[in-house]
């Protein structure tokens, strides 16, 4: 794989990771049609995803920092409550327990955890299915048609106002299941999770934030599962530079796209991406039988 091919794939990753058109689907389609050989490099795939993950940290660093602090404070409260339980009642007969989930950000932390669990389970159980689906044009094509349908339905949803304190844990699980299905190539992760959030009545701005921050544990989890196989790869110094070029391209393009998504969701402009998904999905299915 050349540097230009790496940058090209990085641009595709950056465009499609945050825009609701499926990064994995496009990468699978482009690699199959143009016969771009990445050497089945797990390291390259990991670096591309880490490039877009970096963008999430940059755009939402204030929220992420707040979530980390609140998560640590929650752990502190849990240990405090456990200590109080073992010490027994105070003199007045009341146990000095602290309420652990008592703010929007703390509820946000728990919701992210609740959503991540089903995604992780589905990702592990369906690992072989996902890898096999990327070797054909048929599955990405069908999944892109499904993505288009979800986007059209999302535009028809009324504007709702749910923020973390209003969201139920059941709804958090449903969003996590939606993200689990989105591991299939062609089923957009951002489009599917944002659609799931909107179907559950999330505020549109919060739906985008929830979707992108939820990608952090999903991407890191996938990287951890795959990194054990990186050691078996033979990667020369020049190839590492080639891979890093793709990673940088993914990060730069991804930053522009994540900003664009905030406007798209707020203004209900998903339909344009839906039509695009329909077109690419049909082309992919046709190419599967022609090529």
pLDDT of residue 9: 81
Average pLDDT, the chain: 85
Residue 268 Rama label (left phi>0; alpha psi -120 to 50; beta): left
Of 177, 200, 205, the closest CA to residue 189 belongs to: 177
**In what helix (H) or strand (E) does residue 249 lie, and over which residues does it extend?**
helix 237-266
pLDDT of residue 29: 75
Work out the pLDDT band at 175, boundaries 50, 70, 90. Answer: very high
Please list, in sequence order, all residues whose beta carbon lies within 8 angstroms of the beta carbon of residue 52, skipping any fewer than 6 positions away.
13, 14, 17, 18, 23, 219, 250, 251, 254
Residue 287 CA to residue 33 CA, distance in Å, equals 8
Of 200, 145, 152, the closest CA to residue 178 belongs to: 200
Average pLDDT over residues 83-93: 67
Of 141, 158, 144, 120, the closest CA to residue 20 belongs to: 144
Mean pLDDT check: name the lowest of 6-20, 36-50, 120-134: 36-50
Under 8 Å between Cβ of 180 and 122: yes
Residues in the chain: 291
Q: Return the structure tokens found at 9.
A: 């794939």
Under 8 Å between Cβ of 210 and 22: no
pLDDT of residue 287: 86
pLDDT of residue 78: 92
Where do we find the tokens 């990608």? 215
* Per-residue model confidence as pLDDT tens digits over 101-129: 999 999 999 999 999 999 989 888 887 78
pLDDT of residue 169: 95
- Collapsed DSSP state (helix, strand, coil) of residue 207: helix
Q: Return the structure tokens found at 101.
A: 């989930």
**pLDDT top residue among 260 and 75:** 75
Its sign, for the CA torsion 185, 254, 31, 39, is negative
pLDDT of residue 64: 96
pLDDT of residue 34: 66
* Per-residue model confidence as pLDDT tens digits over 148-168: 999 999 988 888 889 999 999
Average pLDDT over residues 39-52: 76
pLDDT of residue 95: 64
* Per-residue model confidence as pLDDT tens digits over 125-151: 887 787 777 778 888 899 999 999 999
Compute how many other C-beta atoms are within 10 angstroms of the C-beta atom of residue 58.
Answer: 13
**pLDDT top residue among 257 and 40:** 257
Q: Is the pLDDT of residue 231 over 80?
A: no
Q: Is the pLDDT of residue 77 over 60?
A: yes
Q: Return the structure tokens found at 22.
A: 């499926």
């Amino acid at each position: 794989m050349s540097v230009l091919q790496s940058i090209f794939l990085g641009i595709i990753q950056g465009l499609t990771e945050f825009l609701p058109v499926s990064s994995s689907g496009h990468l699978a389609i482009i690699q199959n049609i143009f016969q771009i050989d990445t050497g089945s490099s797990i390291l390259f795939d990991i670096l591309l995803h880490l490039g877009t993950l970096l963008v999430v940290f940059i755009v939402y660093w204030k929220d992420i920092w707040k979530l980390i602090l609140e998560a640590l404070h929650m752990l502190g409260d849990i240990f405090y409550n456990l200590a109080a339980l073992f010490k027994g009642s105070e003199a007045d007969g009341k146990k000095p327990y602290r309420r652990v989930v008592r703010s929007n950000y703390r509820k946000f932390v728990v919701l992210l955890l609740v959503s991540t669990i089903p995604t992780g389970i589905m990702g592990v159980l369906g690992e072989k299915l996902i890898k096999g689906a990327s070797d054909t044009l048929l599955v990405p094509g069908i999944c892109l048609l499904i993505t288009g349908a979800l986007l059209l339905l999302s535009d028809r949803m009324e504007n709702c106002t749910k923020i973390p304190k209003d969201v139920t844990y059941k709804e958090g699980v449903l969003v996590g299941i939606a993200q689990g299905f989105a591991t299939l190539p062609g089923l957009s992760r951002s489009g599917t999770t944002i659609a799931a959030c909107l179907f559950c009545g999330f505020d549109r701005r919060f739906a985008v934030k929830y979707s992108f921050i939820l990608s952090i544990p999903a991407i890191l989890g996938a990287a951890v599962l795959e990194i054990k196989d990186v050691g078996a790869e033979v990667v020369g110094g020049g190839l590492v530079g080639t891979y890093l070029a793709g990673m940088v391209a993914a990060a730069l393009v991804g930053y522009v796209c994540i900003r664009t998504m905030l406007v798209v969701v707020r203004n209900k402009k998903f339909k344009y991406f839906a039509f695009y998904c329909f077109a690419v999905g049909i082309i992919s299915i046709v190419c599967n039988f022609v090529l």
